[in-house]
Amino acid sequence: MPERKSVIMADLLQNVHVMEHKTAVEEERQGEAYAPFALDPNGYRKKFYIESYGCQMNFSDSEIVASILHDEGFGATRNFEEADLVLLNTCSIREKAEQTVRNRLQVFRKIKDKNPGMLVGVLGCMAERLKAKFLEEEKLVDIVVGPDAYRSLPGLIMEAETGQKSVNVLLSRDETYADISPVRLDSNGVSAFVTIMRGCNNMCTFCVVPFTRGRERSRDKESIIKECQDLFSRGFREVTLLGQNVDSYYFTDDSGENIDFAQLLAGVAEISPLLRVRFSTSHPKDITDDVLYAMAQYPNICKYIHLPVQSGNTRILNLMNRTYTREWYLSKVKRIREIMPDCGLSTDVISGFCTETEDDHQDTLSVMEQSRFDMAYMFSYSERPGTLAARRYTDDIPEEVKKRRLIEIINLQNTLSRESYKGDIGKTFEVLIEGNSKKKETDWVGRSTQNKVVVFPKNSQELNKGDYVRVLITSATSATLLGQMV
């Protein structure tokens, strides 16, 4: 999945992983930094605390872990000092994320010195990549668990309680956790993640995901539909279907029927017209007309696509092993706009990849201008150990050049975002209310189908979270639409 910010609750964000900078900082969407998931711990024999970093998949995985621990008699707490078990669900996509996790482990180590019975564990991508360092060199953790080994947590905890260091980072070709009902911990009660596949078969040279999450495998359609139906019956009104590359979803059911992502999208949309459907993330080489037509056909499939470009230069895209060209990407954008003229579009951009020239950089800026992205996640290239790029290429762009190019990318996207948001003034959108505005309790906040944050006064109407309202946009910033109910 695309690179994203660290440690912000992902229940309202549309994408993933760690980033160095982003525009359209949507404060109305952001959760509490370093916020742990939590359940009422009363009645449980032990308490656990969990922090999640990086991508939406990690936040979804934390809900699976919470379900497993819940069944083992653990209740969640927001206070890590009182926890019997402290877990960090980690990301390896950027060096900054890894350093943040190390710093947090040092904090937990001090608490553990005062409370020797407390166990500290690392989950996720860093767990798989740095297991030896954590267990042997740094002695910061008791438990190390990879993304495909969460079912083994109860046994690993029992082993760690005897003083043994416990580790399971084995990758799987078939684990999807389809039978585990995630505990919706820090949810707003309106939006939820539903993982439809795990792993990745794309070998983008800059990315560690294929090495930390394993090969791609799709979850069965029936379990996905069942989970979405259950969420709707419990009052949720929006689901985000998650996968490293959702467009490559493919499952053969017991009857021999082959189900692709377009068919899955339609199946979820047909649960109810009141259930909004989003998805993340698409790959330019895989998104099909069938998916676009399904989006256009069903009003409750949100008209928003996150389509990472990474670079606007074909030579650099080839070095990245993105398997498409500049022209291919622009033709996909054109096709999206032909089928859905009102579709929102966002992207990921990397500055300063290996051998990038000034002309290559200008190609990226021109693709951004032609694509007219509503928002983007932007960061400078950070070489990750173990990736194909680290083995094949030299990270030869000076940091000051990377940063200068990144600033130019950010400045351009700020302009594009302002123009996009101001272009919505005078339009009316259907908005799903997600809760109170963080800035003003007398305002509601929600999102349009294009994934833009909308803030509007409550007035005197009897409305609640999860209700749909029509809002006339009266003003805008580069990150938020402001309006009045109509």
Full set of structural domains in the chain with CATH? 10-168 (3.40.50.12160), 189-306 (3.30.750.210), 338-422 (3.30.750.200), 428-485 (2.40.50.140)
Cβ contact 1:17 at 8 Å: yes
Query: Measured between alpha carbons, how far is 67 from 178 in angstroms, rounded to an integer?
Result: 12
Provide the pLDDT for residue 116: 87
Residue 44 clears pLDDT 90, i.e. is over it: no
For residues 149, 151, 154 and 157, what is the CA-based torsion angle, rounded to 10 degrees?
A: 10
- The model's pLDDT over 434-462, given as tens digits with 9 standing for 90+, comes to 999 999 999 999 999 999 999 999 987 78
Query: Measured between alpha carbons, how far is 275 from 295 in angstroms, rounded to an integer?
Result: 14
Higher local confidence (pLDDT), 50 or 131: 50
Residue with token string 């302009």 = 415
Q: Which two tokens stand for residue 19?
A: 């980033």
Query: Measured between alpha carbons, how far is 13 from 394 in angstroms, rounded to an integer?
Result: 33
- The model's pLDDT over 340-387, given as tens digits with 9 standing for 90+, comes to 999 999 999 999 999 999 999 999 999 999 999 999 999 999 999 889
Residue 150 clears pLDDT 50, i.e. is over it: yes
Beta pairing class for 85-90 and 480-485: unpaired
pTM: 0.88
Provide the pLDDT for residue 5: 32
H runs (alpha helix) in 30-94: 56-71
Residue 12 clears pLDDT 50, i.e. is over it: no
Q: Which two tokens stand for residue 262?
A: 């377009």
Residue 2 clears pLDDT 80, i.e. is over it: no
Query: Measured between alpha carbons, how far is 30 from 360 in angstroms, rounded to an integer?
Result: 34
Query: Measured between alpha carbons, how far is 282 from 213 in angstroms, rounded to an integer?
Result: 18
Average pLDDT over residues 189-206: 95
Count CB atoms within 10 A of the CB of residue 250.
15
- The model's pLDDT over 247-268, given as tens digits with 9 standing for 90+, comes to 999 999 888 999 999 999 999 9
Average pLDDT over residues 383-412: 96
Provide the pLDDT for residue 43: 61
Provide the pLDDT for residue 292: 98
| Residue 161 buriedness (CB in 10 A; 0-12 / 13-18 / 19+) | middle
- The model's pLDDT over 279-315, given as tens digits with 9 standing for 90+, comes to 999 999 999 999 999 999 999 999 999 999 999 999 9
Of the candidates 257, 237, 261, 234, the one whose C-alpha atom is nearest the C-alpha of residue 249 is 261
The one-letter code for the residue type at 118 is M
Of the candidates 479, 449, 16, 482, the one whose C-alpha atom is nearest the C-alpha of residue 238 is 449
Secondary structure (DSSP) of 111-146 = HHHH-TT-EEEEEEHHHHHSHHIIIIIS---SEEE-
Query: Measured between alpha carbons, how far is 322 from 307 in angstroms, rounded to an integer?
Result: 12
Count CB atoms within 10 A of the CB of residue 406.
21
Residue 486 clears pLDDT 90, i.e. is over it: yes
Q: What is the mean pLDDT of the chain?
A: 88
Higher local confidence (pLDDT), 24 or 409: 409
User: What angle do the packed helices 358-371 and 399-422 form, to 10 degrees?
Assistant: 10
Query: Measured between alpha carbons, how far is 280 from 238 in angstroms, rounded to an integer?
Result: 13
Provide the pLDDT for residue 22: 35
Average pLDDT over residues 99-123: 90
